[in-house]
């Protein structure tokens, strides 16, 4: 069931969040369960920051040669 949720989220959000990964979905679930007062905007901001860091790392490794 968890795998289905992860795949569904990745398919639905692939245009807006092309780097969405299992850890991102795990973060959404964890943040939602830990702090129910947290807004969905806060969760997506955390993922946005994580993706920015991942993209920077990918670019750094690509051009490191």
* pLDDT single digits (tens) 26-50: 887 777 767 654 677 777 888 888 8
Domains of the chain, residue spans: 2-62
* pLDDT at 52 > cutoff 90: yes
The structure's pTM equals 0.48
Average pLDDT rounded to a whole number, residues 43-59: 88
Per DSSP, the residues of 48-62 read: HHHHHHHHHHHHHHH
* Rounded-to-integer distance, Cα 27 and Cα 65, Å: 32
């Amino acid at each position: 069931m968890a795998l289905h949720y992860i795949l569904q989220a990745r398919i639905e959000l692939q245009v807006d969040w092309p780097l969405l990964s299992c850890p991102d979905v795990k973060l959404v679930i964890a943040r939602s369960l830990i702090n129910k007062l947290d807004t969905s905007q806060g969760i997506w901001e955390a993922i946005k920051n994580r993706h920015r860091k991942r993209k920077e790392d990918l670019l750094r490794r690509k051009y490191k040669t």
